[in-house]
Structure formats: C-alpha cells, structure tokens
Amino acid sequence: MRLVLASNNAKKLSELRALFGGLPLDLVAQGTLDIAEADEPHHTFVENALAKARQAAAASGGAAIADDSGLCVHALGGAPGVISAHFAGEVPDSPGEDREARRRRQDAANNACLLERLAGIADRRAHFISTLVALRHADDPEPLVAVGRWPGEILLAPRGEQGFGYDPLMHIPALGATVAELAADVKNQHSHRARAAAQMRGLLREAWHLG
C-alpha cells in the first residue's frame, strides 16, 4: 500500500520508514509526486497534521500520513509549540543553497532563539511531541490519530552532531545524553516519533487491517 508522507523532510522520512518497518507500506515523500506543502495555520498539532494529511491525500488520490511535531517548554507556556520549525522567524534565502542547508541554518537560529528566551530561567523542563494523522483518502471520516511525548530538559548549550531541530539542546536524563548524541537506532527506540509510530502501527493493523 502506498502511503504519502505529507512532508519533504528527508530525515523525517527516513525515521518513519524505519519505524514502520515490517508493515506492507511504501512510504513516499509528497515532493516526489510534486505535491506542495500545506499551510499550517492552526494552533494545535493535531489540526495541522490533519490539514497536511488531507491535502496530500487529495493531491495523490490515495492514503496519506502527516506528522506535526515540535518542542513544548514548560516555562514558556508550551512554546515554541506549533511554530517550533520557525521559532526565530523565517531565515532569508541564500543563493545556491539547497533545502537541507537552509534547514540547518533555520535550526541554528531556532536554537539560539530558544536559549535567549530561557536565559536566567532555572526551570528547563520540556518535551518533544509528535502527532501522527493517517487518512485512507481525503474525505476519510475516521482519521487515525496517534500522539507521542518524550520528556527532557533544555541545556545551556548544544551538544552532539546527530539528528536535527532542537536535538542538540534536548537532554534526556534517562539516557544521559542529548538527542543529538544518540545513535539513530537508539533515538528510534525512545523518541516522541517512535512512541507515536508505535501507537499508529497498532491503529493501522486494527483499523486498516495492515500487517
């Protein structure tokens, strides 16, 4: 079964392919089908994920899945939340720069903004959240919804070279490392996306009779 991922994030595609391994799914990025990214105007992760999945399903004429994820910091009232990807505002385009290079610059700006907002604040509690929504078709009346949370704390400075986004700042006390210091297989065992994907695997088997 082809399942269109409503994202063009290569690392997210790789993570989800690994997390859905063993299911009879061909997970493809929407960009390979020339599907544009959906607007994300909503204030909650689940509404944005549903909007993205619905657009990808309508454009592809079949099943789609979307992940809306981000970082929620306790001392900031849940911010950056749904604007995690652009917490510092959109970085300007740079001539000749590819998508992944621009994303790395955006990540660096977001991390710097977060550290500035938390300067002098002792409470560094935070969690990553991933909300997955899957649709059989654009008008599916029964979207599958799975949510995973991964608690940790924000460090004073980044550590590690793996992952993306806020991974270098997010320390997981139970693992004694930042997310960016974890090997990919370890991250895929413990992450917010892994927890949401585990729920989604069960829903896909139960509701869509896959696997």
Rounded-to-integer distance, Cα 193 and Cα 139, Å: 25
Please give the span between the terminal C-alpha atoms of the chain, in angstroms, as a whole number.
Answer: 11
151, burial (CB in 10 Å: exposed 0-12, middle 13-18, buried 19+): middle
Rounded-to-integer distance, Cα 97 and Cα 23, Å: 36
Q: Is 107 among the catalytic positions?
A: no
- Which is the catalytic residue, given 34, 39, 67, 68? 68
Rounded-to-integer distance, Cα 4 and Cα 95, Å: 30
Distance from chain centroid for Cα 148: 11
Rounded-to-integer distance, Cα 39 and Cα 33, Å: 18
List Cβ neighbours of 45 (8 Å cut-off, separation of 6 or more).
Answer: 68, 69, 70, 81, 82, 129, 131, 147
Which DSSP category does 139 fall into? Answer: T
Residue 109 · residue 91 · CB < 8 Å: yes
By annotation, the residues acting in catalysis are 68
